[in-house]
């Protein structure tokens, strides 16, 4: 039961992060813009460096969380039961926040970020000319969603830290988690390369917005329950 619970925690945590919509939204607009402005080779190059930016920021966040948690658990005595209830409460609160505030009230795919922030991203997309610009855009696109993803990353890293002392096993799980998080970007790129356009993808996203809202909200709650079950 403990192994299944731990596996469930990892799966839920990774799915929550992978189903977030801000980075895919920026990536979709960026891919559409570069495809229309630049040659196929340059557009693909810029898209690659955007993805590398997202990947680098994700790895950096995971590394910082890992070293902070490792230091805390090495020097402090932390009650697992108290931690479980506190973190479960945070996750349930996030489930409510996600369900109520993550998507805007319009019929489209407007998200929780302010209109000023959205316009800034749109402006940055249109000013990208070099690999470094695309890389920085990828880095920055991760930041706004950390309010929803940071606690989930903490849970994920705590589970990975419990996989014995083998650094290769831990590194392998972290790499796998990062690849799964990047999977939506790969899917969008494949869809666009297959002949679909921005409008097609947007229609699909609008159609499935309510479903996604329920799925991610439920995943937060399931993750909270699994954490409590593991310490029961």
Strands (E), 33-154: none
Residues 228 and 232: their CA atoms lie apart, in Å, by 6
The two tokens of residue 213 are 């809202």
Q: Residue 45: give the domain boundaries.
A: 2-231
The two tokens of residue 90 are 């945070």
Average pLDDT, 10 consecutive residues per value, the chain (232 residues) = 75 90 90 87 91 91 86 62 84 92 76 87 90 93 92 87 70 81 86 79 82 92 88 67
The two tokens of residue 74 are 């090495």
Residues 94 and 88: their CA atoms lie apart, in Å, by 10
pLDDT at site 164:
60
pLDDT at site 76:
55
60 to 23, 53, 63: CA distances (angstroms): 16, 10, 5
| DSSP letter for each residue of 80-102 | HHHHHHHHHHHHHHHHHHIIIII
Give the SS3 label for residue 9: helix
Q: Give the global pTM.
A: 0.88
CA 185-187-189 angle, 5° bins: 70
pLDDT at site 217:
92
192 to 2, 69, 195: CA distances (angstroms): 41, 40, 6
State how many domains the chain has.
Answer: 1
* Burial profile 34-46: b = 16 or more Cβ within 10 angstroms, e = fewer: bbeeeeeeebbbb
pLDDT at site 1:
46
- Count CB atoms within 10 A of the CB of residue 220: 26
27 to 16, 140, 141, 182, 208: CA distances (angstroms): 18, 12, 9, 11, 18
The two tokens of residue 79 are 């009650």
DSSP letter assigned to residue 232: -
């Amino acid at each position: 039961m403990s192994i299944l619970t731990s596996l469930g925690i990892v799966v839920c945590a990774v799915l929550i992060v992978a189903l977030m919509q801000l980075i895919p939204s920026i990536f979709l607009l960026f891919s559409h813009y570069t495809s229309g402005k630049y040659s196929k080779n340059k557009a693909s190059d810029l898209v690659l460096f955007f993805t590398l930016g997202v990947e680098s920021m994700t790895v950096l966040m995971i590394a910082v969380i890992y070293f902070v948690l490792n230091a805390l658990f090495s020097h402090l005595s932390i009650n697992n039961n108290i931690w479980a209830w506190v973190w479960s409460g945070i996750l349930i609160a996030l489930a409510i926040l996600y369900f109520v505030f993550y998507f805007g009230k319009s019929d489209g795919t407007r998200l929780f970020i302010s209109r000023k922030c959205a316009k800034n991203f749109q402006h940055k997309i249109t000013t990208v000319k070099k690999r470094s610009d695309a890389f920085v855009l990828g880095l920055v696109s991760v930041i706004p969603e950390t309010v929803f993803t940071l606690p989930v990353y903490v849970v994920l890293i705590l589970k990975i830290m419990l996989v014995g002392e083998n650094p290769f096993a831990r590194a392998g799980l972290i790499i796998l988690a990062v690849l799964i998080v990047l999977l939506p970007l790969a899917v969008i790129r494949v869809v666009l390369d297959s002949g679909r356009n921005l409008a097609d993808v947007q229609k699909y996203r609008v159609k499935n917005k309510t479903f996604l809202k329920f799925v991610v909200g439920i995943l937060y709650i399931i993750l909270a329950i699994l954490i409590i079950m593991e310490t029961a």
